[in-house]
Amino acid sequence: MFTSLSDSLDKTFRNLRGVGKISEKNIADALREIRIALLEADVEFGVAKDFISRVKEKAMGEDVLKSIKPGEQIVKIFHDELEALLGGDQAPLDLNPPARILICGLNGAGKTTTSAKLANRLKKEGRRPLLIACDLYRPAAIDQLAVLAKQIDVPCYTPDASESDVVKVAKDALAWAEKQQGTVLIFDTAGRQEIDEKLILELKRLHDFVKPKETLLVADSATGQQAVSVAEHFDGAVGITGIILTKLDGDARGGAALSMRAVTGKPIKYAGEGEKLDQLFEFHPSRMADRILGMGDIVGMVEQVADKVNEADAMRSMKRMQEGKFDFTDFLDQMKMIQNLGPLEGLLGLMPGFSKIKKQLPAGAFDNKKIKRTEAIVLSMTLEERTRPEIIKGSRRQRIADGSGTTLMEVNQLIKQFGEMRKMMKSPTKMGNMMKQLGGAPGMKDIMKGFGGGKFPF
């Protein structure tokens, strides 16, 4: 999301670091470029103006102007102010009993999916969430929540299709919830394409009846400055306690994330990145500031890897690698493990400096279709062929190509690459060098710990 902003800031700070002595003109020129970059990222004008003023005031201080490395100090000032703009410390949910969470927002922002994502996350944290469908207008909204709830094995209250009074639905849901012994109630409410009086009045009635500890606004981060006005309207109506940004993995410019906290004074508590129900993450302002400045988010990367990788399976694969027994069945397991991590580009984007490395990678390096084709080739092999790849000759290769819907060339290429990989694994020297290189990459030691024992499974 922040690619263009990160690139602009990187260029500006690189120029500052290259200057031996900083003058007021250097700072003024740099801040002008930063202001333009913020506005191009769709940051609200007043927020950008105030932000630049604060950075300028601190950057013009004597300690900076006379510093041996003034460029580095300005970057530090910018980082600290950016972190403060995003909210400072991470803001946890108030889950003290009775823990009730009201989810609100416009249509299309992803409220229903986000409600299920939040329930899934709370369940993993050891709580007993309950989902309650209060969207009585959008076709199939109730069914959608019920289907998502079933996927994560969370109880869901679904009113009759004929029901039109949202307060009555909430009253019946509370009676139902008492029998379920849940610890957190999540109310998924209706949205609109545009904010209207009917929506606001209904939300007020529901809010007054439910008396939620948390009223969370789900905002599409791609809506830019419009998201800020939406947040102000909802806050004025029902008093939101926090924000959940969705579609943070998209190609939007990121202005909403940088503006909403400053304009509303309400913290961004979670961010959704991806469609899967486990892709909702706590929003940490300091980590987001690091990502915007190209410093990565190693802690976030380790958390994602540790949460989705089975340590026992990873260690078993590592042992087979070291013993030279790695075959296509192991290879298939590794591919599934990688796919469970979600889009690789998004995960690797948390590595420091990845944006620069990415430009040097060949086109299609993160093409999910290519991964699927590779998987199809392996699945078209017999169990014996996966265990003993050396027996895959001419006629077998053609059969595999036909069965997987790929070409003979693609099958030949995969078998060749796999053979070269096995040779490398059987060579302690080559394998050791590879692991050494991986371990020396920025932050990679921390990532390896996420797999257990500092070992890397693929």
Residue 367 to residue 339: CA distance in whole angstroms: 12
Residue 107 assigned to a binding site: yes
The dihedral built from the CA positions of residue 328, 330, 331 and 335, taken in this order, carries a sign that is positive
188 labeled part of a ligand binding site: yes
Residue of 243, 250, 118 lying closest to 186 (CA atoms): 118
* Phi, psi angles (nearest 5°) of residue 262: -70, -40
Whole-angstrom Cα distance, residue 298 to residue 16?
Answer: 26
Q: For residue 165, give every residue at least 6 positions away whose Cβ sits within 8 Å of its Cβ, in sequence order, or none.
A: none
Transcribe 22-46 into DSSP letters.
--HHHHHHHHHHHHHHHHHTT--HH
126 is in an annotated binding site: no
Distances (CA, A) of 145 to 88, 140, 320, 343, 415: 33, 9, 43, 24, 44
Ligand-binding annotation for 325, yes or no, is no
CA 278 to chain centre: 10
Whether 446 has a binding-site annotation, put simply, is: no
**Side chain identity at 299, as an amino acid letter?**
V
Nearest-angstrom CA–CA distance, 255 and 43: 4
User: Is 190 annotated to bind ligand?
Assistant: yes
Is 148 known to sit in a ligand binding site?
no
Is 235 assigned a ligand-binding role in the annotation?
no
Query: Other C-beta atoms within 10 Å of 364: how many?
Result: 9
Instruction: Outline where 284-442 has alpha helix (H).
Output: 285-292, 298-308, 311-322, 328-340, 344-348, 354-358, 368-379, 383-387, 394-404, 408-426, 428-440
Tell me: is residue 333 an annotated ligand-binding position: no
Give whole-number Cα distances, 271 to 134, 215, 278, 283, in Å: 23, 16, 11, 6
- Residue 112 is assigned to a ligand binding site: yes
- Tell whether 111 is in a known binding site: yes
Residue 10 marked as a ligand binder:
no
- Is 189 a known ligand-binding residue? yes
Contact 121, 210 (CB under 8 A): no
E strand or H helix that includes residue 133? strand 129-134
Residue with tokens 């265990």: 387
User: Residue ranges for the binding site?
Assistant: 105-112, 188-192, 246-249
User: Residue ranges for the binding site for GTP?
Assistant: 105-112, 188-192, 246-249
